[in-house]
């Protein structure tokens, strides 16, 4: 926490709220830390459009825009969903066949190829389809986990499904949701929306342990069933989120009239 006191303020935030002079000072300090101050001296020229300065992180103005408000609410739900399912799978590790430490090592090892696979998905099929695919994996994994059949080498369908669902379906979806949120919203409110999405994720991480605790005293069928229901809702919401792959990132919240004028 004390280290954060030494961190400089975001140049983008300074540019939109305090002006170019404050942002330039921070950028020059970064250049000095990286040993390239002489190369950039006199070359940094910053200016923030008036609209960006006026909007700067205004969440209420964002929510008054029907288009971006709907996208934001859908993304907030995705943040909550990926958090509650991810932590739910993780906290239930000691309830599936096999040693807890072994299960944890297996999941961490498998996360590497799944992260690489997710990066390829984002590149070739886009953000929205990658989101929908990962949510489908969560649904299928939960359904398979409810079967609880023995496979081989002490593995059960539940153990296999939880590992796949947590590493592919949820852990990889953190990356997808983060990138989609950053690309779907204008620059002027992007950091505010990402922060709000992170708050929604905290709600998910808070609820997950209680779900697992209740499942231990009753049945994990209920928890897997809830995950399926939440993920189906996530699929429905995700289907309407616009694709952002290869699209130009907007700088400000543009209403429909201004958008039409730009097209003309």
Q: Over the stretch 119-177, which tens digit does the pLDDT of each residue have?
A: 888 888 989 999 999 899 888 888 887 776 565 555 566 666 766 676 777 878 888 99
Rounded Cα distance, 190 and 182, in Å: 6
Per-residue pLDDT for 232 more than 80? yes
Cβ contacts of residue 184 below 8 Å, gap of 6+?
A: 71, 75, 241, 242, 244
Identify which has the larger pLDDT, 181 or 61.
181
Q: For residue 49, which phi and psi values (nearest 5 degrees)?
A: -55, 150
Identify which has the larger pLDDT, 10 or 141.
141
Per-residue pLDDT at 256 = 44
Which of 35-67 are b and which e, b meaning 16 or more Cβ less than 10 Å from the residue's Cβ? eeeeeeeeeeeeebeeebbebbbeeebbeebee
Per-residue pLDDT at 4 = 67
Per-residue pLDDT at 194 = 87
DSSP H stretches of helix in 34-126: 37-40, 50-55, 59-64, 66-91, 100-124
12-61: pLDDT as tens digits: 667 666 667 777 778 788 877 777 767 767 666 655 555 555 555 566 77
Per-residue pLDDT at 257 = 41
Rounded Cα distance, 210 and 85, in Å: 12
What is the sign of the dihedral through the CA atoms of 126, 181, 232 and 66? negative
73-123: pLDDT as tens digits: 999 999 999 999 888 887 776 655 556 677 677 667 777 787 888 888 888
């Amino acid at each position: 926490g004390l280290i954060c006191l030494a961190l400089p303020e975001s140049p983008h935030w300074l540019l939109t709220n305090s002006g170019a002079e404050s942002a330039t000072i921070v950028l020059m300090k970064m250049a000095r830390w990286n040993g390239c101050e002489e190369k950039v001296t006199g070359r940094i020229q910053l200016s923030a459009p008036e609209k960006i300065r006026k909007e700067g992180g205004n969440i209420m103005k964002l929510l008054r825009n029907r288009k971006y408000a709907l996208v934001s609410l859908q993304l907030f739900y995705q943040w909550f969903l990926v958090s509650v399912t991810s932590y739910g799978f993780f906290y239930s590790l000691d309830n599936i066949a096999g040693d807890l430490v072994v299960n944890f090592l297996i999941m961490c090892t498998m996360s590497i190829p799944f992260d690489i696979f997710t990066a390829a998905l984002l590149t070739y099929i886009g953000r929205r389809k990658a989101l929908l695919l990962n949510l489908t994996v969560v649904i299928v994994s939960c359904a398979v986990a409810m079967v609880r059949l023995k496979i081989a080498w002490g593995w059960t369908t539940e153990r296999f499904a939880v590992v796949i669902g947590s590493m592919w379906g949820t852990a990889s979806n953190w990356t997808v949701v983060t990138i989609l949120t950053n690309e779907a919203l204008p620059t002027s409110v992007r950091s505010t929306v990402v922060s709000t999405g992170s708050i929604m994720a905290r709600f998910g991480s808070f609820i997950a342990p209680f779900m697992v605790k209740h499942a231990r005293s009753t049945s994990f069928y209920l928890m897997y069933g809830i995950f399926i229901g939440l993920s189906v809702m996530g699929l429905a919401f995700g289907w309407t989120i616009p694709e952002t792959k290869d699209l130009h990132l907007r700088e400000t919240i543009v209403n429909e009239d201004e958008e039409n004028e730009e097209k003309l």
